[in-house]
Chain A
Amino acid sequence: MSDNTTYGLAADFENPLALMKAAEKCRDEGFKSWDCITPFPVHGLDDAMGLKRSKVPFFTFIGGSIGFCTGTFIAWYMNAFDYPLIVGGKPFFSPVFPFPVMYELTILLAALSTIAGMFILNGLPRHYHPVMKAKNFAGTTDDILRITIEASDPLYDSDKTKAFLHEIGGTNIQELED
C-alpha cells in the first residue's frame, strides 16, 4: 500500500487513563495531525493532547457585535430617520427603549455565529471520514478509545509510527485507507 492511499494509523487503548498517557506521549513526540476518538468526553484530554483553546468564541464575539450594531441601527433607522414617530412621549431615538431589541439581536446573532463557527472550524457538514473505514468503528461509540495518527503528519513514517503506537500501549494497530 503506497503512502498516498494511506490515511494513517489507528491504535486502541484499554481505558481513559491509558489513552491520556498515550496522548501525552504523542504530544511530546511532536505529532501535529493526529486525534483521539472516544465514545464519551474525557476531561483533561485537551491538555494531554496539547490542544489550544477553541477559536469559536471569536466567532461568537463578532456575531454578537454585529447583532448589537444591527439592533441599534434598525431602531434608529425606523424610528428616528425613515419615519420619525412619537410613541408614548419618548424621544425618537434613545438607547433605553430599544435596548431589548439590541440585546436580543446580540444574543441571536452570537448564538447563530457560534454554531456557524463550530461548523466552519470542524469542516462540517461532512458525510465521510477515513476513520469510519476502520475495523470496529462502531466500537468507538461504545467502549473503544482510539488514537489516529495521519500520514500527512511530517513525522509520520509507516513502520516507525507503528512501532511508536505499539510502544505507548496501543493494541489492534491498523492502517487506515484514505
Chain B
Amino acid sequence: MSSEATTSGAVAASGKKNWPFLCGVGGLVFLAIAIFGAISGAMDHNARPAYGLLVMFTFYLSIGLGMLLLNLIHHVFGAGWSTVPRRQVEHATSIFPVLAGVFAVFLIITYFIDNGLIWKWIDFEKVKDDVLYTKKSWYLNNTRFLIGVVVCFAGWIFLSHKMRSYSAAQDKDGDVKWTNKLVWWSAVGVIFTALTLSMAAIDWIKSIEFHWFSTMFGVWFFAASMRAALAITALVCLYQVYKNGPLTGLFKRGHLYDLGCLMLAFTVFWAYISFSQYFLIYNANIPEETFWYNMREQGAWWWVSMGLIFGHFLFTFIYLLFYRNKVKASRMIFISVWILCFHMLDLYFNILPSKRENYEMFVSYPFYISLWDIAAFLGIGGLCAWSFMRSWAKTQVIPVKDPRISESLHHHGR
C-alpha cells in the first residue's frame, strides 16, 4: 500500500502548486468571512447572510449525499461499468465532516443568537398559539430536531468512512470479502440514507416554511442531489482525462456516455417530481399549500421559476437526448456546469422565498446573489475540494483489485 500510495500521491504533488493546501486555506478564509457575515447579520436580525450560507451548505450537502447514494447504488446493484469512476465518487463522500462543521454555525445562530432567525418555529414563544405549529409540534420540536442532526451527520460520516476504507482495503489484498462487506453496508446504507436525506430536507429546508404541506419534498431533494452529483462526477473524471491526467485510457467514451444517460434520466425524474408537487397543489387549490407557490411568483422569482422549467428541465432534456452531446467531453462539461448552475438556482428558489420580508403579507425575500453567498460558496467549496484531494492522494486512481474492474475497463457504451 505505502509504495502505491506514494505513487498516486506523487502525481498530486508533482504539480507546481500544493493545491490541497491552497484550497484548504482559501476555503477557511472565505468560510470565516461568510460565518462573520452570518453571525453579525444575525445579531442585527438580518437573516440574509445566514440564508446565503444555508443555500451554499445545501448545495454541497446535495452533492455529498448524491455521491454517497451513487456509491451505495453501485454496490447494491452489483454494477460493473461504474467501477472506474467509482473511486472519484468515494472521494467526494469525504466532505461530510466539513459539512457538519458548517452546520454547527446554524445551530450556534439558532440557539445562542436568535432562535427564530433561520427556522421560525424554533422561536417557540412566538409560535405557541399557531395552530399549524401546535399540530406539527410532535415532529417539529427541539429534541427531535437535534437528534435528527446528530443521526444524519453521524450516520453519513460513519457510512462514507466505512465505504471508503473497505474499498481502499481491497486495493491492497484484492480479497472479495471486501466487496461482500461493501454490498452488505450498501444495502443497509441505502435505506438509511434515503430516510435521513428526506429528514434533512424536511428539517433544514422545508421547515423554514412550517405552515406548508408537501409529500414530495424529500424526493425532490433526492432527485436534485443525484443530478448535482452526476454532474460533478462527470466534471471530476473529465478533468483527470484532460492533458493525459491519471484517468487517461481508463475513463472512456462508454463511461461518459452512461453518465450522460443517467443525467438525462435524473433530469426527467427531477422534472417529474417537481411538476408533481406543483400539479397536486395546483389541482387541490387550497390556500394552506398554494401560498408557497404564490410567494414564488413575486418579482424576480417568477423569472427564476421560468428559468427552472425551461433551463433546468427543457433545455437540458433536449440537449441530453442527442448521442453526440453525451460522448464529447466539451459538450458534457458544458451541460454539467449548466446543471450545477441551475441546481443552485433551484436551491435558492426552494429556500430563500420561504424567509419572508413581511411575514403577515406573505412578501418573500427578493432574489439576488449577495457577496456573502459568494464567500460561502468559495469557503465551503474550498474546504470540500481540500477534503476531496486529501482523500484522492491516499488511494489508487481506480479500485485496482475490484473483482469488476476488468469489466469496467472494457466497458463499451454505445
Listed in ascending order, the chain A residues whose CB lies under 8 Å from chain B are: 43-44, 46-47, 53, 57, 61, 88-90, 96-97, 99-100
Q: Is residue B146 within 8 Å, beta carbon to beta carbon, of the partner chain? A: no
Q: Which residues of B contact A47 (CB under 8 A)?
A: 412
Measured CB to CB, the closest approach of chain A to B315, in angstroms, equals 16
Closest residue on chain B to residue A45 by CB atoms: B412
| Interface contact A99-B275, CB-CB below 8 Å | yes
Q: Which residues of A contact B279 (CB under 8 A)?
A: 96-97, 99-100
Q: Which residues of A contact B414 (CB under 8 A)?
A: 46, 53
**Per DSSP, are chain A's interface residues mostly helix, strand or loop, or mixed?**
loop
- In the bound complex, CA of A57 to CA of B321 (Å): 9
Give the residue of A61, A96, A100 whose beta carbon is less than 8 angstroms from that of B278.
A96
Chain B 276-295 interface 0/1 with A at a Cβ cutoff of 8 Å (1 = within): 00110011010000000000
| Count of chain A to chain B residue pairs whose CB atoms are closer than 8 Å in the complex | 24
Chain B 253-284 interface 0/1 with A at a Cβ cutoff of 8 Å (1 = within): 00000000000000000000001001100110
| Interface contact B412-A44, CB-CB below 8 Å | yes
Q: Which residues of B contact A61 (CB under 8 A)?
A: 321
Closest residue on chain B to residue A51 by CB atoms: B414
Closest residue on chain B to residue A43 by CB atoms: B412
Q: List 24 A-B contacts (CB under 8 A).
A: A43-B410, A43-B412, A44-B410, A44-B412, A46-B414, A47-B412, A53-B323, A53-B414, A57-B321, A57-B323, A61-B321, A88-B283, A88-B285, A89-B285, A90-B283, A96-B278, A96-B279, A96-B282, A97-B279, A97-B282, A97-B283, A99-B275, A99-B279, A100-B279
Closest residue on chain A to residue B309 by CB atoms: A95
Q: Which residues of B contact A96 (CB under 8 A)?
A: 278-279, 282
- In the bound complex, CA of A12 to CA of B100 (Å): 62
Q: Which residues of A contact B412 (CB under 8 A)?
A: 43-44, 47
Measured CB to CB, the closest approach of chain B to A38, in angstroms, equals 15
Q: Which residues of A contact B321 (CB under 8 A)?
A: 57, 61
